Amino acid sequence: MKETTQKYVINTGLFGAVGNIWAGAPTSISPFHYGKAQAPGTVEKQALAKAGICDANGQILPAVRPALDVLGTANAFTRIYLSGAQIPAECIVYFAQNRVPVSLLNVGGDMQIDFPAATETFVSMVAQGIGSSIYRSVPFNATLTHDEALALAAMIDLQRKQALRSVADEQVPVIVESDVPALRAITSRKGDNTQWLINVVLDLLSLDGIPSEDRLRSALESLVQKGFALKHASSYRLSEATLALARRMLIFDAALTLTSGYLGTSGLLNVAGFTCLQAGIHDLLVIDAGVDLVTIQSVSSASVLDSLQTYLTDAKVLENLDTPVAETAAPQIRKFCPQCGTTIQPGRKFCGSCGVPL
């Protein structure tokens, strides 16, 4: 028998009032910390009654209490935010021990409460935005230090800017060569424009300061050793593999951020997540920043949807965030065979279904 879905839409500022009449001690990640945690007045009671959460006297309706219990005692969450040419979309799923998850969906500034969580609806919304293809145009996978990630992002951005200028000026694109001072200047000019990869990486890393020229030079030499860059005299340029990626990722059409959190046994919140940038139907780049390392990899939209489905529905996966090794806490993007679409197990060099080399 299919479970009946409950839907309630309230202003975000009313969550504090709901938490007050819920009459419990909300966890640190509970949405009941939104707004003022005070007893609702006449206006608030009317709004909550209209939403179907309370009666006219401000008493929680029995049918609503199970959903509020999840929001109040939540010990884990996953938040998805998708921005781009379309209207930004946001969804948060809250998990509580041995309870059915509840979701909050941003509806024009208000929040729609769905119980059980409307994860299928939101995954479908994301699929309409980024697609659901199993293909990726340019294979790319790099595990980098923070300094290496900054240096590579700066080089990719300079190459993208040159390519865009050449299109506007009707000229033949050239390969950009940059020295260390020029790259440090790029990394030190952080802005809010998420079209530029360096801004995205800087946001994810939250560095205390920009690396010195010596550190950047060391990072660039390491990128050369790893095959992501080439050196000519005192200048550096992208390798062929990285250059192909930069040429594909000219304009970011959409940006998707996944953030998952779990309240560990110590009471501390363990957080992990990734950012996905899309430049075309088959051009998606996932950036996953850990404590010491940054992973940058091209993926298919199908693998992104698969990860969203997992982290929006599987409480056991979120429990794995409560580990002492921060680098293992990050969500993993499941890979698919580019030929037949079969899920690829880690470490395989050939598809187990069609046999195509990977």
Q: What is the mean pLDDT of each run of 10 residues along the chain (358 residues)?
A: 78 93 92 84 93 93 96 96 78 95 90 95 90 91 96 96 94 94 89 90 84 95 98 96 95 94 88 93 92 93 94 92 56 51 51 49
The answer, yes or no, to whether the previous bond of 116 is cis (omega within 30 of 0) is yes
Closest CA to 258 of 247, 248, 244, 272: 272
What sign does the CA torsion over 249, 250, 256, 260 have? Answer: positive
Residue 357 · residue 349 · CB < 8 Å: yes
pLDDT for res 326: 44
Entry pTM = 0.85
Helix segments in the chain, DSSP class H: 15-22, 42-51, 65-72, 119-130, 146-168, 180-187, 197-205, 213-226, 240-248, 301-313, 315-319
Can you give the residue ranges of every domain in the chain? 1-130, 133-314+332-342
Tokens of 88: 């930004």
Q: What would you measure as the largest C-alpha separation in the chain, in angstroms?
A: 78
Closest CA to 113 of 26, 48, 40, 201: 48
pLDDT for res 114: 96
Residue 293 · residue 144 · CB < 8 Å: yes
First-to-final CA distance of the chain: 43
pLDDT for res 210: 85
Residue 255 · residue 275 · CB < 8 Å: yes
pLDDT for res 354: 46
pLDDT for res 290: 87
φ and ψ of 336, to 5 deg: -125, 150
Residue 227 · residue 239 · CB < 8 Å: yes
pLDDT for res 85: 56
Closest CA to 69 of 23, 108, 2, 133: 23
Rounded Cα distance between 156 and 117, Å, is 39
Angle formed by the axes of helices 180-187 and 197-205, nearest 10°: 70
What sign does the CA torsion over 130, 133, 137, 140 have? Answer: positive
Residue type, 40: P
Reported as a single tens digit per residue, the pLDDT across 197-246 is: 999 999 998 777 789 999 999 999 999 999 999 999 999 999 999 999 99
Q: Which residues, 6 or more positions from 48, have their beta carbon under 8 angstroms from its beta carbon?
A: 10, 14, 17, 18, 40, 54, 58
pLDDT for res 278: 95
Rounded Cα distance between 210 and 202, Å, is 9
Residue 13 · residue 30 · CB < 8 Å: no
pLDDT for res 303: 93
In angstroms, what CA-CA distances link 89 with 34, 171, 278?
19, 38, 15
Rounded Cα distance between 308 and 207, Å, is 27
What sign does the CA torsion over 113, 114, 116, 117 have? Answer: negative
Rounded Cα distance between 311 and 51, Å, is 29
pLDDT for res 84: 79
Residue 120 · residue 289 · CB < 8 Å: no
pLDDT for res 329: 46
pLDDT for res 353: 46
